[in-house]
Amino acid sequence: MGTAVSKPLSAIVVGGGIGGVAAAVALEKVGAKVTVLEQASEISDVGAGVWITANGVKALEFLGAHDYVRETSNATQSQHYLGFDDGRRLIRTELGERGRRRYGAPSYLVHRADLLAALSDRLGNSPRVGSRVVSLEHTSSGATVTVESGERFSADLVIGADGLKSVVRQELFGIQVPHFSGQVAWRALVPFERIAGLGLEPDSQHCWFGDSRAVVAYPLRHDLIYNFVGFVPAHEVERESWLRSGDVDELRRSFSGACTQLNGIVNAIDEAFITGLYFREPLDKWTVKNVALLGDAAHPTLPTIGQGATMALEDAVSVAQHVSQTGRQSVSGALEDYASHRRDRTVDVLTTSRTNAEMMTLADPAAVAARDQRFRAMEASDPLGGELYGWLWSYDPVSQAV
Ligand SMILES: Cc1cc2nc3c(=O)[nH]c(=O)nc-3n(C[C@H](O)[C@H](O)[C@H](O)COP(=O)(O)OP(=O)(O)OC[C@H]3O[C@@H](n4cnc5c(N)ncnc54)[C@H](O)[C@@H]3O)c2cc1C
């Protein structure tokens, strides 16, 4: 770990989501004075779960947020890939104690509000909410952002952690429309007792793969609630309804024909909301002078690898350590080094998320049979999932931050 900067650097973080708050905590930890500007009226996230794998947990440890997450979340024991229509088991990956030893940390099934609370708890300086950044200027000593009210904030460096539709990214590189994947995600939380009798393995993530659709589901808050994410082709959902809660009958139609366990979960859902799934092609540059992008603002990926938030946590550790090593002398150089250090890994994650999206929703029977056979063989030869994900989960974002 780098040494703390001697003369405090000032930093503005645009966006108080998981990436922005993590970046602020990390920068404070290396001695910077940080202001987080968040457009919403409070620091909060959608009511849904997020899987934080071992690589992300190592970042949480650095940020001082691991204990909170451990106390509020289910530690993952296993991950199951299953057939959509008959529930046939394709592979079970062991992620309990053996997984923890193999990957260097546990992984957790976390409520997003708990993850944000765990991070926010570590912040010295409270975020300024209701502060929507509308423009950015480079200055001789750093950068200045202007919020909707006209108020201006200047600092030695600015981190754009403002998500998929990042204003900071647009200010740096112009308008670039994200790619729509053609799929939407139905997201729901149900009381755990409604699915408790379905015989699902405790503390585990269950993923069902079907023709053009897939589901990822898991428990949260020590089995208080159960998280459902169902991926379906966008044409199965009325476009206009994306921004409001979806019609649950539509959800049920998309998942008709599911196996008994999955059907039991779908029937337990009373209300759900819809998220369109977007990604962007990798950016060559994430920085201009003393301004850098982080998290979804830099590299929005598909959720079919469960890594977007974790990549933002890794970015946060990396940017802070790069800045702390260089200090005020070369903020722009430190940000460029951070970006080039993080780029290949986030490109690999994006590529794998796209391959996974195809693999999870295969329709052609021959391709389905080949996939299933491959996974069944791997269960014996690779019970901890290292062949597929060792490169991802073993990574230590703290010791490999720079
Ligand atoms: C269905 C689904 C499931 C997922 N599952 C997982 C998972 O299991 N594991 C995982 O690691 N990742 C997962 N992800 C990805 C993860 O949610 C994102 O990658 C992560 O939330 C990105 O965090 P962020 O802070 O970069 O961006 P965001 O969460 O988008 O936060 C951006 C913040 O910036 C604020 N903002 C935006 N514009 C401005 C502005 N102009 N001024 C001020 N503030 C602004 C926003 O209000 C917001 O608070 C999933 C995503 C989806 C859609």
Is any atom of ligand 1 closer than 6 Å to the C-beta of 127? no
With the most atoms of ligand 1 within 8 angstroms of its CB, the residue from 21, 168, 296, 319 to mutate is 296
Atom of ligand 1 nearest to the CA of 50: 8
pLDDT in tens, 30-57: 999 999 999 999 888 788 999 999 999 9
> Would you say residue 241 has pLDDT above 80?
no
With the most atoms of ligand 1 within 8 angstroms of its CB, the residue from 18, 35, 180, 273 to mutate is 18
Is any atom of ligand 1 closer than 6 Å to the C-beta of 188? no
Of 109, 95, 102, the closest CA to residue 52 belongs to 109
Q: Where are the alpha helices (DSSP H) in 174-213?
A: none
pLDDT in tens, 261-280: 999 999 999 999 899 999 99
With the most atoms of ligand 1 within 8 angstroms of its CB, the residue from 146, 162, 164, 342 to mutate is 162
pLDDT at residue 140 in the model: 87
pLDDT in tens, 56-84: 999 999 999 999 999 999 999 999 999 99
pLDDT at residue 2 in the model: 46
Say if CB 110 and CB 51 are below 8 A apart.
yes
Residues with Cβ within 8 Å of residue 313, at least 6 apart in sequence: 18, 19, 22, 52, 56, 59, 60, 63, 397
| Cα of 17 from ligand 1 centre, angstroms | 6
- 289 dihedral zone (left: phi>0; alpha: psi -120 to 50; beta): left
> Would you say residue 361 has pLDDT above 80?
yes
Is any atom of ligand 1 closer than 6 Å to the C-beta of 59? no
pLDDT at residue 208 in the model: 98
Residues with Cβ within 8 Å of residue 107, at least 6 apart in sequence: 51, 52, 53, 54, 56, 57, 75, 76, 95, 99, 393
pLDDT at residue 242 in the model: 54
Atom of ligand 1 nearest to the CA of 167: 41
| Cα of 20 from ligand 1 centre, angstroms | 9
pLDDT in tens, 102-117: 999 999 999 999 999 9
pLDDT band at 160 (very low <50, low <70, confident <90, very high): very high
Residue nearest to atom 31 of ligand 1 (CA): 17
Residue nearest to atom 27 of ligand 1 (CA): 163
**288: its two tokens:** 């201009």
Atom of ligand 1 nearest to the CA of 43: 49
Is any atom of ligand 1 closer than 6 Å to the C-beta of 161? yes
Residue showing tokens 């403002």: 162
pLDDT at residue 278 in the model: 93
pLDDT band at 362 (very low <50, low <70, confident <90, very high): very high
pLDDT at residue 246 in the model: 65
Is any atom of ligand 1 closer than 6 Å to the C-beta of 132? yes
* Bridge partners (DSSP) listed for residue 92: 80
End-to-end distance of the chain based on CA atoms, in angstroms?
Answer: 9
pLDDT in tens, 123-150: 999 999 999 999 999 998 899 999 999 9
Of 369, 392, 347, 349, the closest CA to residue 90 belongs to 369
Residue 46 to residues 66, 79, 112, 251, Cα–Cα distance (Å): 21, 24, 7, 19
Return the axis-axis angle of helices 18-29 and 54-63, rounded to nearest 10°.
Answer: 50
Residue nearest to atom 15 of ligand 1 (CA): 308
> Would you say residue 5 has pLDDT above 50?
no
Residue nearest to atom 6 of ligand 1 (CA): 306
| Cα of 16 from ligand 1 centre, angstroms | 9
pLDDT in tens, 181-195: 999 999 999 999 999
Q: Where are the alpha helices (DSSP H) in 13-53?
A: 18-29
> Would you say residue 89 has pLDDT above 90?
yes
Residues with Cβ within 8 Å of residue 213, at least 6 apart in sequence: 84, 230, 231, 232, 233, 254, 255, 361
> Would you say residue 1 has pLDDT above 50?
no
> Would you say residue 244 has pLDDT above 70?
no
Average pLDDT over the chain, rounded to whole?
Answer: 94
Share of the chain above pLDDT 90, in %: 88
pLDDT at residue 43 in the model: 87
Of 167, 177, 112, the closest CA to residue 297 belongs to 167
| Cα of 43 from ligand 1 centre, angstroms | 12
Parse the chain into domains and list their residue ranges. Answer: 10-51+61-76+112-178+280-360
pLDDT at residue 124 in the model: 93
pLDDT band at 237 (very low <50, low <70, confident <90, very high): confident
Mean pLDDT of 88-95: 96
Residue 205 to residues 223, 249, 288, Cα–Cα distance (Å): 13, 25, 40
Atom of ligand 1 nearest to the CA of 301: 19
Is any atom of ligand 1 closer than 6 Å to the C-beta of 310? yes
With the most atoms of ligand 1 within 8 angstroms of its CB, the residue from 13, 38, 151 to mutate is 38
Phi then psi for 89, rounded to 5 degrees?
-85, 125
Is any atom of ligand 1 closer than 6 Å to the C-beta of 218? no
Options 2.70.98.10, 3.50.50.60, 3.30.365.10, 3.30.70.260; CATH for 10-51+61-76+112-178+280-360 is 3.50.50.60
**Burial tier of 376 (Cβ tally within 10 Å: 0-12, 13-18, 19+):** middle
Distance in angstroms (rounded) separating the CA atoms of residues 280 and 353: 12
Of 360, 92, 58, 311, the closest CA to residue 204 belongs to 92
